[in-house]
Structure 1
């Protein structure tokens, strides 16, 4: 355990969780760890970042690559550790978990997703939040960000949320997005992105 203050952010797809994490990290001048965790794990495992993203928290990379028509090599998706008998997804989770614990031991930081709240549950200065928003606001955000139709955006939201829920509950045994699993729930539709950042900044400074 350390005296660092760690902010972990769980989030519904399209709720603005990454943006909140990024703004908070900038205000507090501390590191943000999100998708860069995938690259760190891929480098340690000596696999391609594309293969790692395919079995990360969700299949989000598949969705982005499909709509951007970008060629992505997922040939490593079915790689297994012959000696351990583990699928790539579990290897990635274990490596990523160790990286998260190591980074939390170095300094205060903001970590988005990847079950960080559960992995760091013993940290004395953990701020564990889940970001939510109305379906209408999330659809609007995804339409604007990725240029999809509202129908396609709604489909992606349903799919990515389902995958994030499965990933979280599989590895933690807790209910994704519930108040029993998180210290607090912040509704961006009610308080806005900056309001959520303000609230987390105040909590961080109170702990400090």
Structure 2
């Protein structure tokens, strides 16, 4: 069986993680999903894209773990969402779309608990992109036009929101090394250096899977 890499990318705000993921997808010549995932989830679920965007990577309330663990086995696409609160529907719509995209072929997926959603996929490589606070501050000032006085507070709030979303819907802790196969620092390695390192890890994983198949 041909190895088809699925790379999930978690990231600190201002680390350049989205750019790393996009360049990685271009270098590997495979699909890239960040906001693009929301359009896919909208088509799959029938939930309008504007609603998906308004709840994107934001914590909901009172979602039982049993809903998540059972979602992939109940009903036809879209039908399981009928009697759930809106934030639950939106998370599960993305959940199902992430699994569909991973089943269809290689891709790079940014955020949205993708490492947790695809935890049982052998082909997945889970990456976390980070950088020192001072490096992230300079990035959000330069590329996002952030007020230098407010930049650090912007980082703190964005990371808190991502952590709250991940910790609520997944079974791990956002940024915990145990959730990822590789952690890269854009401040130390640079964007392209991080992309090259991730590509090398993809090659190593491909080799390991192929060798395991030979043993069978």
Residue 186 of structure 2 corresponds to which residue in structure 1? 188
Q: Deviations over 1:75-130 (max 9, x none)?
A: xxxxxx9951x332211110111111001011111111011111111111211111
Q: TM-score, normalised by structure 2?
A: 0.79
Unaligned runs of 5+ in 1: 60-80
Q: Structure 1 residues 108 and 44 mapped into 2: Cα distance closer, same or farther (>3 Å)? A: closer
Q: Could you report, residue by residue, the CA deviation over 1:15-66 in whole angstroms, capped at 9, with x for unpaired residues? A: 011100000100110001111111222344444433221111149xxxxxxx
- Shift >4 Å, 4+ stretches: none
Tell me by how many angstroms 1:195 deviates: 0.9
Local SS of the residue matching 2:150: helix
Structure 1 CA distance, aligned partners of 2:129 and 2:148? 21
Secondary structure of 1:151's aligned partner: coil
CA distance in 1, matches of 2:50, 2:152: 25
Q: Which residue of 1 aligns with 2:163?
A: 165
Shift of 1:3: 4.4
Check the 8 A contact 1:4/1:105 in 2, yes or no: no
Change (3 A) 1:152 1:50: farther
- TM, length-normalised to structure 1: 0.82
Q: Secondary structure, in 3 states, of the residue corresponding to 2:136?
A: helix
Out of 47-56 and 152-161, give the one that drifted further: 47-56
* Secondary structure, aligned partner of 2:119: coil
Distance 2:28 2:129 in 1: 19
Question: Using the alignment, how far apart are the partners of 2:184 and 2:87 within structure 1?
Answer: 30
Contact residue 116 and residue 171 of structure 2 kept, 8 A:
no
Residue of structure 1 aligned with 2:131, choices 124, 130, 133: 133
Instruction: Answer whether contact 1:129 1:185 (CA < 8 A) is retained.
Output: yes
